[in-house]
Structure 1
Amino acid sequence: MLKFIAIAGLMLVPFASAGFISSDMLLSADQPAAVPADGSVVMDAKINFSWGFGAIFPMPLTIYLEPEDVPEWLSVSVSPQSFTITPAGLRGGAIEKDVTIRLTSKEETDAFVLYSFTLHAYTNGSFLIKGAEDKKSVNVMQDFYDKGIRIDSPKKIRISNGGSKTIYVNITNNCNAPVTICFQQENETNMFEFSYENGTIISSKVQKSLPITINAKKVGTQEIPFRIIYYPTGYEDKKNSVSTTITIESYGTASSFVALEIAIFVIIVASILIFVWKRMK
């Protein structure tokens, strides 16, 4: 009886009023992880479509999901891009659908810079059910791409004993984010002392010359290995390192202090010999 009344009611509705049953769409999506510069990440989304009273005739409708305003460096692939449902039920109802979205880097860009794009879910409805839509803004960024740093430093230097010299290590940041640089002397030495500043930041694709001052304490030659640690600024957990070796030669005589000690010793010995010689005369 109820179905007969509903059918009769529908027959009284003019054709122009097609799509008179209310509908609603809710789109939800996870925020994705940072996208690798040479890879992709997957995120999940859900589309919930609901409709109101009166859908007594099963009539299919198609729901679409499209990405909009996508950054140039990013490719967004939706699966499925569309699907068909058949709402039915006099008292209304709802249908939920899971969607997989793959984000792929098309090219390298600055890491950790926040971009956004829009997911647009919509349907044009059917003869009975009105259309509906929903949009969701998604924040996305590219992950750190560790392409390394290039080190150009003197391979061999000479310093006079007791003197000092400042050398410059040229470091080129090949990564897609500013990196923080720290020097680390790998072996202890009693022949030379080093002074340098850690924490220098080098911008992406930029070269910077960093000074190291060397003080010679003894005569001799020694190979000094250095480890140069780098990491994207603010993300120390992503640190990496490269090593380089500098051969240092300290030349000349003993230091002035040692020379003074020797001179004093010679004078004392000479004085004693002269004193003994005079006593023996």
Structure 2
Amino acid sequence: MERLAEPLNSMALVLYQPQDVVNVAAIIRAMSNFGLADLRLVEPAAFDPYRIAGIAHHTEPLIERTRRFPTLDAALADCGLVLGTTGRPRVQEYPVYTPREAAREVLTRARQQRVAILFGPEQDGLPNEALGRCHGVITIPTHPFNHSLNLAQAAVVIAYELWVAASGAASHPRAQGEGGASGATPDRVAHAGAAADPALAGTLPAKGPSVPGAGETAEPLASGAEREALFASLEGLLVALYPGGSPARRAQALARLRALLMRAQPTRAEAAALTNLLRHAARACSGGRGGNRSQP
């Protein structure tokens, strides 16, 4: 059991603006069932420790450890890999994982640094701005007749797969055949769509970027705070390059560039180098070449 403590304790479930205290309680119970200990609530509209304890029995230590954050960036500040949960395609492209594929990738990264699985609010799911904080998305394949999953149901599926990946539970005789055989999935990337689906659903997703195996060492990814510093320096360069540009067009350009850099999964050293380069470039542009450029 000792070998499980480190990777599982490095996995955070982050609930963005949860609305139903019953769902929060169900997720806490699932985390207790599957050995997860780090729950983070962002701007929670539904957190009542007394009521949660009455719904999710024997979870008081986990309830006490649950942390609340005023912003998503604050909740992800110390996290390397971040995977969001959604089923609807997006304007930007994201690597797409099944829960089983995601669990393997998360486990590899969790041996080195804290990682996060991000869930959106029940009614509308993760907004595109929140998905912009993610390296990829997790989609749970379901029957097309009724593909929507409740927030807590989705969290249970993902928590189970994290536990299986960490504990090797699938190799136990009783677990053989659970979930069915997993066939090859086509290599593809999620596309287009304006809003987040509150459910995790749809088609079989493609694998995201590969990471080193259990016996190898991967460089730590940039933390959330380091990534946001990089994106702030990128915005500063765009402002310096196009001082008369439209804020709306600049936001669109930033969203595209953010998605590109998140797919690249920059390491801490790479993010620091890019941040410094962009800051120097912005200062050079501001000091040497003004102008009325309007793009983007």
Q: Structure 1-normalised TM-score? A: 0.20
Pick the structure with more helix per residue.
2
Pick the structure with more strand per residue.
1
Q: Which has the higher contact order (CA 8 A, sep 6+)?
A: 2
Q: Bigger radius of gyration, 1 or 2? A: 1
Q: Structure 2-normalised TM-score? A: 0.20
